[in-house]
Structure 1
């Protein structure tokens, strides 16, 4: 008499939390590797993108250091400015990352990515942290130029590592903000216009160029709601040793990045339609 075999246990189609984390990590790693390969193939882009921060440091920084028009206490203005320009260069790279998403949609790449088992959050996070890798390369160039100009930067490896984390988190947020805008406007031309319209207000509405206590009241409120201000505050504290609330800065940047990744993931399907 044959004994019926027990049916094999059903396998859930949904990956567990650990599997999702592995997928997320592999997707982020793949996107970062692609970004590094792009930089290796087109190294002239690094040089052209370094022109603007170099001009800010060489012209604006050197001039206002001599004028002493902006009070920064015992810190030379050039030292005060350098972390702000570092954050600015990362912002300018990340804020137009949505154009790449629209290009991938037009080329049919995005639709192919969305039908894979990879979670949408992993796709967005991969692109966000790939923007951070590109920003780190830019940040290295700004740091080298700052050191040549005599800025008193830290040599502590732990502080430099924390600086890299700050740059990546800030770039991830602004990259996802760009993807959110792309998911709303759905065209490269509109994204370029909005990106250009908000970039300078984000920059001038932060503490990148001047202390918050010099701002009018309404601008102080906007500065406290601006993630770039927390990024600059952390970079100053880590690189030149000014007083900084690093716990708050890291918390705001990490929370803003997580929220932005979630919103961008929700809009990814709309962008692909």
Structure 2
């Protein structure tokens, strides 16, 4: 099975490399959030224009820094946003693993793939592995862009490994779920409807953009059941030194969620592939 999986991963990556336009399209959303949303929020100017024009700029900046530190745990909101977007972007990339399956089914390439002697589990694992490779390639590009825009990071190898592991766990879990949906759905309109139903609610019901403490109580409760919440907390802790929960609990919850998602996604996908 290892050999078949490797061959299928190579096939998936060759298809990806051949779609040059996909590279730029996939980066548009996170770059827009970082460059437009993240850099446009100049809190010093916001407070100054809100009636503090005559105040000493140094005093205004001190007040803003204290407020940001109390709300976000850091005086640099762009860094806070960037660490959240690393996780959100990995989540968005997970979606494409399922979307691609729907298009392959409509084009007939999935039928040809099923006619090969490769085990059905190899098809599932290969698509997961290829999506993870694409995700971390894009994550590297996104990190470079964030640094170019002013994101300051401590280049500690252990912190990067732990942050990357959290992103990989989150991505693997959601890739599995979206693969199962992709195998079960034949219509791309239905697939995109499901994607739109899941994507934004999960992003906004997480601390990717704003801390949970600033959310309504009911949204905070929802966020505690959101896998993105724990991945963001781990990544932010390792790259920024800011966290909202116990890190060991974050890891335990994220690993448990990933195990459930991967198992459920694999079983559901195999069931569809056997009867497809």
The normalised TM-score by structure 1 is 0.80
Q: What runs of 5+ residues in structure 1 fail to find an aligned partner?
A: 1-22
Q: 1:265 to 1:112 in 2, by over 3 A?
A: farther
Answer whether contact 1:35 1:134 (CA < 8 A) is retained.
Answer: no
Deviations 1:129-187 (A, max 9, x none): 32111111111111101111221212112222222222222211121221233345442
Tell me the equivalent position of 2:27: 50
Does structure 2 retain, via aligned residues, the 8 Å contact 1:93–1:135? yes
Q: Which residue of 1 aligns with 2:179?
A: 179
2:206 is the alignment partner of 1:206: yes
Q: Structure 2: which 5+ runs fail to align?
A: 47-63
**Distance in 1 between residues matched to 2:189 and 2:123, nearest whole Å:** 23
Change (3 A) 1:171 1:32: farther
Written as runs of structure 1 = structure 2, the 5 A alignment for 1:238-257 is 238-243=238-243, 245-257=246-258
Inter-partner Cα distance in structure 1 for 2:79 and 2:196: 27
CA RMSD of aligned residues (A): 2.6
1:34 aligns with 2:36: no
Give the whole-Å Cα distance in 2 for the aligned partners of 1:223 and 1:142: 25
Residues 1-273 of structure 1: matches in 2 within 5 Å?
23=1, 25-26=2-3, 29-66=6-43, 67=46, 71-111=71-111, 113=113, 119-243=119-243, 245-268=246-269, 269-270=271-272, 273=276
Deviation at 1:208, TM superposition (A): 0.3
Counterpart-to-counterpart distance in 2, 1:85 and 1:60: 11
Q: Specify which structure has the higher proportion of helix.
A: 2
Separation (CA, whole Å) in 1 of partners of 2:166 and 2:200 = 20
- Distance, in Å, in 1 between the alignment partners of 2:254 and 2:132 is 13
Determine if contact 1:169/1:257 at 8 Å carries over to the other structure.
yes
The 3 A distance-change label for structure 1 pair 167 and 27 is farther
Q: State the number of aligned residues.
A: 250
Shift of the alpha carbon at 1:205? Answer: 0.7
Match of 1:16 in 2: none
8 A contact 1:87–1:167 mirrored in 2: yes
TM-score calculated relative to the size of structure 2: 0.79
CA distance in 2, matches of 1:44, 1:246: 39
